[in-house]
Amino acid sequence: MSANRSEAFDESHAQQKNYVARGRATISNPYVRRARFESSGRTTTRNGASLRADWRVTHEYRAFVCRAWLDV
């Protein structure tokens, strides 16, 4: 039997700017109209388990099955 657990943190950053290139840049008409900066993170958790069994048919089990089959 085995089990495992893993946690991963992923950090992301994004930025978006809206430029306008008409005429001269002034207070009322700037080159950059909008700017957005975003920072966020995400945690991913994974859980897993497995079970493994090894088995072998013994002579006693074979004899039991054969007797049960013949008695029917």
Q: What is the pLDDT of residues 5-17, one digit of tens each?
A: 999 999 988 888 7
**Angle, CA 41 vertex, CA 40 and CA 43 arms, to 5°:** 160
In the chain, what percentage of residues exceed pLDDT 70?
A: 85
**Dist CA 47 CA 3 (whole Å):** 8
Using the predicted structure, report yes or no on whether residue 69 has a pLDDT greater than 90. Answer: no
The ranges assigned to domains in the chain are 2-71
Average pLDDT over residues 36-40: 86
The helix (H) or strand (E) run that includes residue 36 is strand 32-50
Given pLDDT bands bounded at 50, 70 and 90, which one contains residue 70? confident
